[in-house]
Amino acid sequence: MDTPMYTRPAGAEEGTLSRRDRVYALMREEVLSGRVTPHTRLGEVRLAERFGVSRTPVREALARLHSDGLVERRDNGFYVAVPNLAELRDLYELRVALELRGIARAIEDRTIRHDPRILVDELERWEKLSAGPPEPDPSFVLLDEEFHAALSRASGNGALTESLISVNQRIRRVRMYDFLTEDRITSTISEHIQIVEHLRADELDAAYRALHEHVGASMEVVLERAQRALIQMALHSDLY
């Protein structure tokens, strides 16, 4: 999880700040993990009792989450924010651009090489998963995000990786419902392995094409996946 950004007000006590940051971090993790459904109202009293704090740090955490775009305010309170299809289109398009840029910059500048240690680690990890694929589960999206963050990190541009992580967090609530079938799990694993093998062999053009196909070769494919995930999200909103 990213370290929460918070500026201490002048004269504030350290203990109070720690409590505020702790509640914010816990609530942020709850939202990003998918454990809170879009239909669950984030009530201040219930959350304060759960975390053993007053309503003030909860209220401040909700305001920060709202500023982050992770929760939305409705007539009767705060709820987890779910992007609509238009927003998803923009976010998915940005994700594809960020993903491909990591390899594109290496194609454009042959002095840029992907970190071999990261590639080896990822190849070993996904080969183990290939030997014993996990059962279909929404939480698989976390493994998928870790792979794509590692792949981006291996390209050497930290800012690019941070942006990709941020986008993936914003679409996680929808993407997690894209991993509910066995064939989706196995195809994802095999495609990850193929991409890494191309990079290790310095086959950058082939790696670029494989990654492009993996994350969505066209906007039609991207939108079809997003629409399917939104439908699954509606059908399985009680998973967490």
Quote the CA–CA distance of 199 and 161 in Å, as a whole number: 17
- Predicted local distance difference test score (pLDDT) of residue 139: 81
Q: DSSP alpha helices (H): ranges in the chain?
A: 14-33, 44-51, 55-68, 85-108, 116-131, 140-154, 158-175, 182-200, 204-216, 219-235
CA 141 to chain CA centroid, Å, is: 7
- Per-residue buried b or exposed e for 102-131, using 16+ beta carbons within 10 Å of the residue's own CB: bbeebeeeeeeebeeebbeebbebbeebee
Examine the pLDDT at 1 and tell me if it is beyond 50.
no
SS3 74: strand
Distances (CA, A) of 230 to 81, 161, 170, 218, 226: 13, 26, 14, 19, 6
Q: What is the pLDDT of residues 218-239, one digit of tens each?
A: 667 667 766 776 666 666 554 4
How confident is the model over 155-206, as pLDDT tens digits? Answer: 999 999 999 999 998 888 778 777 888 999 999 999 999 999 999 999 999 9
More confident residue, 4 or 136: 136
Q: Rounded distance, CA 187 to CA 12, Å?
A: 52
pTM of the model as a whole: 0.70
Which among 188, 118, 198 is positioned nearest to 155, based on CA atoms? 118
The whole-number average pLDDT for the span 47-66 is: 92
Stated as kind and residue range, the H or E segment containing 72 is strand 71-74
Q: What is the mean pLDDT of the chain?
A: 84
pLDDT tens per residue, range 102-154? 999 999 999 999 999 999 999 999 999 999 999 988 789 889 999 999 999 99
What is the rounded CA–CA span in Å between residue 172 and residue 175?
Answer: 5
Q: Is a pLDDT exceeding 80 seen at residue 211?
A: yes
Residue type at 203 in one-letter notation: E
Higher pLDDT, 37 or 134: 134
| 137: CB partners within 8 A, 6+ apart | 179, 180
Average pLDDT over residues 34-51: 85
Residue 2 above 50 pLDDT? Answer: no
- pLDDT score, position 171: 84
Q: What is the pLDDT of residues 165-179, one digit of tens each?
A: 999 988 887 787 778
Per-residue pLDDT, 219: 64
Eight-class DSSP state of 111:
T
